[in-house]
Amino acid sequence: MSKKLIFNVLAVLSAFIIAPASAQVSTYPNKPIALLVPYAPGGSTDITARLIAEHLSKRLGQQVVVENRAGAGGNIGANVVAQSAPDGYTLLMAPSSLVANISLYKSLPYDLRKDLEPISRIAMIPNVLVIGADSKINTFAEFIAAAKVAKPPLNYGSAGSGSSQHLAGALFANTIKIEMGHIPYKGGAPALVDLMGGRLDVVFAPLVEVLPFIQGKKLKALAVTTPTRSFALPDVPTVAETFPGFDITLWNSIMTRSGTPPEIIAKLNQAIQYVLAQPEVLKTLRSQGSNPSGNSVDDFKTLIAQEVPKWAEIIKLSGAETQ
C-alpha cells in the first residue's frame, strides 16, 4: 500500500472519529441538563440553583433539572459529577466548602482540581457575626471588649466541625487572641434557634441564612467577614476594618466533569453571565444577601488555586476534625 493511500485512509478514519464529537459540540444542548445540588432541598445553595436553572433553561433552550444528592459535606454530589460523562449534561452547583473539604477530609473519592472543570462562579456570600436581639452589646467594638474579658469564654455555634461558621469563629478567636467555646450542631438552623433562645453567645452565620432574622430584629448583626461591607447591611462594619486581612468569603458556582469540550464550557459560561445580568436574577440574589459575581473560566481556576491553601491554613488553626 502506497504512502499516499495510507494517508488518505487515515484521513477518512479521522473524519469519522472527529465528526461525532464536532456535531455534539455544535448541537449542544440537545437534551435536558442535570444540575446537581450536593445538599438537601430548601437550603440557600438549593434555592440559588433553582433560580439559575430556571433562567438557564430559557437561555439554552433545554430544561435544566435540579437534582439533590446530599451527604458527606457535599462530597457525594460532587463525586457523582466527577464520574459523569464529560459532555456538559451533568453540572454541579459547587459551594466554596468543596475547596475546604480538600483539607478537611483525609480521603476523598474524587479530586476537585483534576476531576471537575470550573465553569463560572455565581455569587459571593459573607458570613456575619450575629448575636441575640436581647443582648446589651450593640457594636463590634463592644463585642470584642466583652469577648476578651468573658469568664467563662463566650461560646459560638456552628453547622458542624469544619463548617464555615466553625472556621469563621476559629479564625476570629485566633485573630483577637482569645479562647471561645465551639458548639457544633447538625446544621445551621438549630444553632440559630439556640442563639435566639439565649443558649449561645454568637454565630458567624452565612448572611443568606440570617438576613430575614436581622431584618426582623430577632438578631443583631455586628460585623461581616468579607473584605468589604455587604450592600445588604451597609451600616455593619467588616471584621477587616478592625483586623486587616480577615477574610471569610463564601461563594457558590457551577462546575462540570473535566474533559468536557472547551466549546461547551465556553457556551455554558456565556449563558451563565447572561443569566446573572438579568434584572430578575440580580434582584432575587441580592434580596438574599448574595452578591452576583460571575467570572471567566480562567479567573475561576485562579480563584480555586488561591483558595486551597487559604482554607487549609484556616482549618489547621481551627482544629477542625478531618473525616
DSSP string, 101-170: HHHH-S--SS-HHHHEEEEEEEEEEEEEEEEETT-S--SHHHHHHHHHH-SSPPEEEESSTTSHHHHHHH
DSSP-derived letter for residue 227 is S
C-alpha cell recorded at residue 256: 462540570
Query: What does the alpha-carbon distance between residue 63 and residue 52 come to, in Å, rounded to a whole number?
Result: 12
* The listed CATH number (3.40.190.10, 3.10.129.10, 3.40.50.720, 3.20.20.120) that belongs to domain 126-241: 3.40.190.10
Domain ranges of the chain: 20-124+251-318, 126-241
| Per-residue model confidence as pLDDT tens digits over 120-172 | 999 999 999 999 999 999 999 999 999 999 999 999 999 888 889 999 999 99
Q: What is the pTM of this model?
A: 0.85
Same fold, 20-124+251-318 and 126-241: yes
| Per-residue model confidence as pLDDT tens digits over 215-271 | 999 999 999 999 999 999 999 999 999 999 999 999 999 999 999 999 999 999 999
The enclosing H or E element of 195 equals helix 188-196
**Tell me, what's the pLDDT at 25?**
75
| Per-residue model confidence as pLDDT tens digits over 29-44 | 999 999 999 988 887 8
Q: Is the CATH number 3.40.190.150 carried by domain 20-124+251-318?
A: yes
